[in-house]
């Protein structure tokens, strides 16, 4: 599938809808967490969470937001939009991060995940 076709198909959906696996039965199924990568010939690779280092991806995002002086609320909203919720950070990020300020901040500022 070409990127333009994927975009065309996805444009039909509510942009706030969550993405699930094809086995979605209405409950108890995790959202799809992916990393999109590009290869030298311009092709796109969509990797699922079992195919990339999720903890490293989280670390890189946090560093990028910090380096670019992102507002904390905007950074956390963007992370959540990408599927990186406080619950996911508890699973994949280093143990000291558990119950990190992201969860507390989101609760205090009404940011849902």
> 77 in helix, strand or coil?
helix
CA dist 3 to 43, 47, 49, 87, 91, Å?
9, 15, 20, 30, 31
Instruction: Express each pLDDT in 2-18 by its tens digit.
Output: 888 888 888 988 988 87
Instruction: Tell me the per-residue pLDDT of 34-58, one tens digit each, with 9 for 90 and over.
Output: 777 777 788 888 777 777 888 888 8
Can you spell out the DSSP letters for 22-56? TT--SSS-PBP-EEEEE-TTS-EEEEETTSS-HHH
Q: What is the CA radius of gyration of the chain?
A: 15
pTM of the full structure = 0.70
């Amino acid at each position: 599938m070409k990127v333009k076709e994927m975009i065309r198909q996805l444009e039909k959906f509510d942009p706030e809808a969550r993405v699930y696996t094809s086995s979605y039965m209405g409950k108890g199924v995790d959202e799809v967490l992916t990393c999109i990568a590009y290869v030298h010939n311009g092709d796109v690779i969509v990797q699922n969470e079992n195919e990339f280092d999720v903890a490293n991806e989280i670390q890189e995002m946090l560093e990028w937001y910090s380096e670019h002086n992102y507002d904390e609320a905007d950074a956390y909203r963007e992370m959540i939009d990408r599927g990186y919720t406080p619950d996911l950070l508890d699973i994949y990020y280093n143990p000291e991060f558990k119950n990190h300020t992201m969860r507390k901040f989101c609760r205090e500022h009404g940011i849902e995940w």
